[in-house]
């Protein structure tokens, strides 16, 4: 058994690496920093003394600022304070799936002109591989620091990851998230944040308040998953969310990001939650994040999210009220200029005390100090030796390829059509608007990639005779050149159709209205498949799910691959999978619904179904309707067989043994226990191992994610039908068998939220599930 081995890149990868690596030979500049030892007039301040605790240093710095200087620092583009030797700072930088120059803090036009562009997050999540996610975070943090050291960054705070639940398949930004499952989203957040910030994979290397490689920010807090649907926009939307859904769906990823990941930033969202703007919600920002979760970091608004509190939502009567609301709620910095424009008048009108400004500044300057920006030259500090050669290094580009390979999902492979034979003599027709579209591979929030290899170009490396027809000018496909595509298909031994979506169809501020393929794409697919000599291969590029029911049941379509937006190496990864140089193992991180799901209003935030009204519920945990493909679905060129090697003795778990005798509650449906009534010691004592054996019955080595679910035989009281409780990725050679161990904590993994938002574990019959194998489990409380 081999865990987390790096897949050796193929010769095709090395060819493209060496021929497309781009660097500009521009002279580098010094990174900006405070406390320059060559300036004794400023370096002697106590806030420059690294021997003092950061808390004391920040206190000294803030005490030296005038009111105008304080207010100037409350916005994302914080100006310099020359008399104290403090440079300007930009809080807004982006690194969703690679360092990007989308925000204001990063410049990719210097010594470093490119950064590694990984697959869009939704595809990376399909690998179900925490180690991969962590390594991607490491690369992003390293390349971010390389840019700073080269003088191409004015900030080291990156507003990623996006860890909102992909609740509705139409959401334009669902592509930015790790999917619909709270456990997956939370674990992705932890892995990414630890990697970016310089922590170890297990956590613990980076102590509270410790030195940061770069700063990660969990967004958008909270219950944000609608951008622009019909007449409703994210700016005015009031998300009505039950305490039950908040407790076990919307909030857990943020809790994990803060408590386990130790994220140093949080972004509050545009929307209101139950009537209160997220950025003005004292309960959310101060009581929950800082109080219950012990968050130590800064809280930023989304861009212009403060202004809309008055101008759109009407929650605040005046600009000064809005400023007072957000700062008193616990927000620290405003992306925009609203706080710069209205904070002084808020103080003068006695709607805001200066102590609230000082509190915010304490959080902001603490982060800048943790980044080492007040310790003299950063080049002489930890991370100061990270040079330009780290950006787009061979190792980083190989990881981008690995991420694309491991995320791509095989949805159909009738008659074992795939992989295609590796013979230069075969002829190949490559058809579709996404076949030669390099930009579509990158998704959104991307920088300038190290290279750009389209699927067409990569496939040409395998087939000497390749004929390309776009079929449609764009993915909108209002008109299709079907005749030309059909002629190309008739003449070829094999046909690969590369279709789907791009950012014109789904993006920030643009939610989809339907779930089918745009325009005449389906007509093009059906016509080509009907004309081809053999069953064709269909590749779908998309972030959100697409209803491809016709293709699923079309016997002339033999293979279907979902490739998300696979990043800079996505073209190579697709070609390698199609021709068998890589065995696909990705699993869908979202449910693929049928088109009729669009009847459900996007504005309905309920996760649980309502049988009285016919509301079907959301995500695999609660949705009771039909689907195209279920959460976790994914095929392989290998066949994997599971069995439970061991679990609970006698299939029973007793939660009625406790020295503190916690109270057993009752409801109409049976007995249950409130998790808050159970001690941590009791929950730890009741942990139990589950060992799952998995065997590769195929002929190829494969990296395979193993997903462990738990469910109730008769779910009630809003409990999920089933929920994911663990996942591991394992590499198995042909015929190899391995055993994986999952440690389950009943207080965490066998519980769900009640209507009051409290976690409970109910008595009854449960089951553990891997693949189609179940293991019965009775819980006695």
- Structural domains in the chain, CATH included, are 46-390 (3.20.20.300), 396-599 (3.40.50.1700), 638-779 (2.60.40.10)
Spatial distance between the Cα atoms of 323 and 335, rounded to a whole number of angstroms: 13
How far, in Å, are 490, 521, 523 from residue 526 at the CA level? 13, 9, 5
Distance between start and end Cα atoms, the chain: 38
Peptide bond into 234 cis (omega under 30): no
pTM score: 0.95
Note the pLDDT of residue 659. Answer: 39
How long is the chain? 781
CA distance linking residue 356 with residue 336, whole number of Å: 19
How far CA 537 is from CA of 462, 558, 570, in Å, comes to 15, 6, 17
Q: How far apart are CA 309 and CA 321, in angstroms?
A: 9
Helices (H), 532-654: 549-553, 570-578, 619-622
For residue 657, the model assigns a pLDDT of 62
Strands (E), 98-200: 157-158
With H, G, I as helix, E, B as strand and everything else as coil, classify residue 544.
Answer: coil
Q: pLDDT-based confidence at 9, cuts 50/70/90?
A: low
Helix axes 521-531, 482-491, angle to 10 degrees: 30
Structure confidence at residue 25 (pLDDT): 37
3-state secondary structure of 257: helix
**What sections of 260-393 are H helices per DSSP?**
282, 307-311, 319-329, 338-348, 354-370
C-alpha 193/C-alpha 56 separation (Å) is 26
Which residues are 431's β-sheet partners?
Answer: 469, 497
Mean pLDDT value across residues 632-661? 83
Integer Cα distance of 637 and 144 in angstroms: 37
Cα–Cα dist 548/594, whole Å: 8
Share of the chain above pLDDT 90, in %: 90
CA 23 to CA 570: how far, in whole Å?
Answer: 21
Residue 758 Ramachandran class (φ > 0 left, ψ -120 to 50 alpha, else beta): beta
* Secondary structure (3-state) at 500: strand
pLDDT tops 80 at residue 1: no
Average pLDDT over every residue of 399-406:
98
pLDDT of residue 20: 42
Helical axes 354-370 vs 338-348, angle rounded to 10°: 140
CA–CA separation, 332 vs 329, rounded Å?
A: 9
Q: What is the pLDDT of residue 665?
A: 62
E strand or H helix at 752: strand 752-753
Residue-wise pLDDT tens digits, 90-137: 999 999 999 999 999 999 999 999 999 999 999 999 999 999 999 999
The CA distance from 511 to 228, in Å, is 6
Beta strands 702-712 and 688-696, pairing class: unpaired
Q: What is the torsion angle, in degrees rounded to the nearest 10, for the CA atoms of residue 132, residue 687, residue 294 and residue 289?
A: 70
pLDDT for residue 664: 55
Q: What is the pLDDT of residues 213-265, one digit of tens each?
A: 999 999 999 999 999 999 999 999 999 999 999 999 999 999 999 999 999 99
With residue 558 as reference, give the H or E element that holds it.
strand 557-564
Contact 766, 777 (CB under 8 A): yes
Q: Which helix (H) or strand (E) holds 741?
A: strand 737-744
410-463 tens-digit pLDDT:
999 999 999 999 987 899 999 999 999 999 999 999 999 999 899 999 999 999
Compute the distance between CA of residue 697 and CA of residue 639 in angstroms, rounded to an integer: 5
Of 184-198, 346-360, 564-578, 650-664, minimum mean pLDDT range: 650-664
Region for 227 from its dihedrals, namely left if φ exceeds 0, alpha if ψ lies in -120 to 50, beta otherwise: alpha
207 pLDDT band, cuts 50/70/90, is confident
Known catalytic residue: 302?
Answer: yes
3-state secondary structure of 689: strand
d(CA 198, CA 349): 44
Q: What is the mean pLDDT of the chain?
A: 94
Which one from 168, 227, 302, 375 is the annotated catalytic residue? 302
Helix, strand or coil, per DSSP, at residue 372: coil
Q: Are 397 and 461 in contact (CB under 8 A)?
A: no
Mean pLDDT of 380-389: 96
pLDDT surpassing 90 at residue 577: yes
pLDDT (tens digit, 9 = 90+) per residue, 13-33? 544 444 444 333 334 488 999
In tens, the pLDDT along 269-288 reads: 999 999 999 999 999 999 99
| Sequence-ordered list of residues with C-beta below 8 angstroms from that of 143, at least 6 positions apart, any chain | 98, 99, 112, 115, 116, 390, 391, 392, 396
| pLDDT at residue 704 is higher than 90 | yes
Helix (H, G, I), strand (E, B) or coil at 461: coil
CA angle 685, 258, 747 (to 5 degrees): 25
Residue 609 in contact with residue 622, Cβ under 8 Å?
yes
* Strand pairing class (298-301; 536-541): unpaired
Band the pLDDT of 661: cuts 50, 70, 90. very low
Please list, residue by residue across 281-295, b when 16 or more beta carbons sit within 10 angstroms of its beta carbon and e when fewer do. Answer: beebbbebbbeebeb
Mean pLDDT over 292-319 rounds to: 98
4 pLDDT higher than 60: no
| 160: helix, strand or coil | coil
pLDDT tens readout for residues 663-681? 656 554 578 999 999 999 9
Measured in degrees and rounded to the nearest 5, phi and psi for residue 502 equal -155, -165
**Contact of 641 with 698, CB cutoff 8 Å:** no
């Amino acid at each position: 058994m081999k865990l987390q081995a790096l897949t050796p890149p193929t010769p095709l990868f090395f060819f493209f690496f060496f021929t497309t690596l781009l660097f500009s030979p521009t002279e580098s500049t010094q990174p900006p920093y405070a406390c320059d030892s060559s300036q004794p007039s400023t370096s002697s301040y106590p806030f420059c003394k690294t021997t003092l605790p950061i808390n004391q240093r920040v206190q000294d710095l803030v005490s030296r600022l005038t009111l105008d200087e304080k207010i100037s620092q409350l916005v994302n583009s914080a100006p310099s304070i020359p008399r104290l030797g403090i440079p300007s700072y930009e809080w807004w930088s982006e690194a969703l799936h690679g360092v990007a120059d989308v925000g204001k803090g990063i410049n990719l036009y210097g010594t470093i002109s490119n950064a590694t562009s990984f697959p869009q997050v939704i595809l990376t999540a399909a690998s179900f591989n925490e180690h991969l996610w962590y390594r991607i975070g490491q690369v992003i943090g390293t390349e971010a620091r390389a840019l700073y050291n080269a003088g191409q960054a004015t900030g080291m705070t990156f507003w990623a990851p996006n860890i909102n639940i992909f609740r509705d398949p139409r959401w334009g930004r669902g592509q930015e998230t790790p999917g619909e499952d709270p456990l997956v989203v939370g674990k992705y957040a932890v892995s990414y944040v630890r990697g970016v910030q310089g922590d170890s994979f297990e956590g613990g290397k980076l102590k509270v308040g410790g030195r940061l490689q770069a700063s990660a920010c969990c967004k958008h807090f909270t219950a944000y998953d609608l951008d622009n649907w019909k007449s409703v926009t994210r700016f005015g939307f009031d998300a009505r969310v039950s305490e039950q859904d908040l407790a076990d769906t919307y909030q857990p990823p943020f809790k994990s990001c803060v408590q386990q990941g130790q994220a140093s930033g949080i972004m509050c969202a545009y929307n209101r939650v139950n009537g209160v703007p997220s950025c003005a919600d004292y309960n959310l920002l101060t009581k929950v994040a800082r109080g219950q979760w012990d968050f130590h970091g800064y809280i930023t608004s989304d861009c212009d999210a403060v202004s809309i509190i008055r101008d759109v939502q009407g929650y605040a009567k005046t600009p000064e009220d809005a400023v007072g609301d957000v700062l008193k709620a616990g927000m620290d910095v405003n992306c925009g200029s609203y706080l710069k424009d209205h904070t002084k008048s808020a103080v003068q009108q006695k709607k805001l005390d200066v102590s609230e400004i000082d509190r915010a500044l304490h959080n902001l300057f603490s982060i800048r100090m943790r980044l080492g920006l007040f310790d003299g030259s950063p080049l002489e500090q930890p991370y100061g030796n990270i040079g330009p050669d780290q950006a787009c290094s061979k190792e980083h580009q190989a990881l981008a390829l690995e991420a694309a390979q491991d995320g791509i999902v095989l949805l159909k492979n009738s008659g074992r059509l795939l992989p295609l034979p590796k013979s230069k003599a075969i002829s190949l027709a490559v058809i579709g608007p996404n076949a030669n579209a390099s930009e579509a591979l990158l998704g959104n929030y991307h920088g300038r990639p190290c290279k750009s290899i389209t699927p067409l170009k990569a496939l040409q490396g395998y087939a000497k005779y390749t004929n390309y027809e776009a079929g449609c000018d764009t993915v909108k496909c209002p008109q299709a050149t079907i005749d030309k595509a059909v002629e190309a298909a008739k003449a070829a031994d094999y046909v690969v159709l590369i279709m789907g979506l791009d950012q014109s169809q789904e993006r920030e501020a643009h939610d989809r209205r339907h779930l089918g393929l745009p325009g005449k794409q389906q007509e093009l697919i059906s016509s080509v498949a009907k004309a081809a000599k053999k069953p064709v291969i269909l590749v779908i590029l998309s972030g959100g799910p697409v209803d491809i029911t016709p293709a699923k049941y079309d016997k002339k379509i033999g293979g279907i691959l979902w490739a998300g937006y696979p990043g800079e190496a996505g073209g190579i990864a697709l070609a390698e999978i199609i021709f068998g140089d890589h065995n696909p193992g990705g699993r869908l991180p979202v449910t693929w619904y049928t088109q009729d799901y669009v009847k459900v209003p996007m504005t309905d935030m309920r996760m649980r179904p309502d049988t009285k009204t016919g509301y079907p519920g959301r995500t695999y945990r609660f949705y009771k309707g039909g689907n195209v493909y279920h959460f976790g679905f994914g095929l392989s060129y290998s066949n994997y067989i599971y069995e439970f090697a061991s679990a609970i003795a006698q299939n029973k778990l007793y939660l009625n043994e406790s020295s503190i005798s916690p109270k057993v509650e009752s409801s109409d449906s049976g007995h249950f226990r409130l998790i808050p009534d159970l001690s941590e010691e009791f929950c730890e004592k009741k942990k139990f191992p589950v060992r799952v054996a998995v065997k590769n019955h195929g002929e190829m080595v494969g990296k395979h994610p193993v997903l462990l679910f738990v469910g109730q035989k008769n779910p009630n009281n809003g409990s999920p039908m089933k929920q994911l409780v663990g996942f591991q990725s394992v590499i198995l050679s042909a015929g190899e068998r391995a055993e994986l161990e999952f440690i389950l904590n009943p207080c965490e993994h066998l519980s769900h939220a009640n209507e009051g938002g409290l976690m409970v574990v109910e008595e009854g019959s449960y089951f553990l599930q891997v693949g189609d194998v179940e293991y019965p489990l009775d819980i006695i409380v």
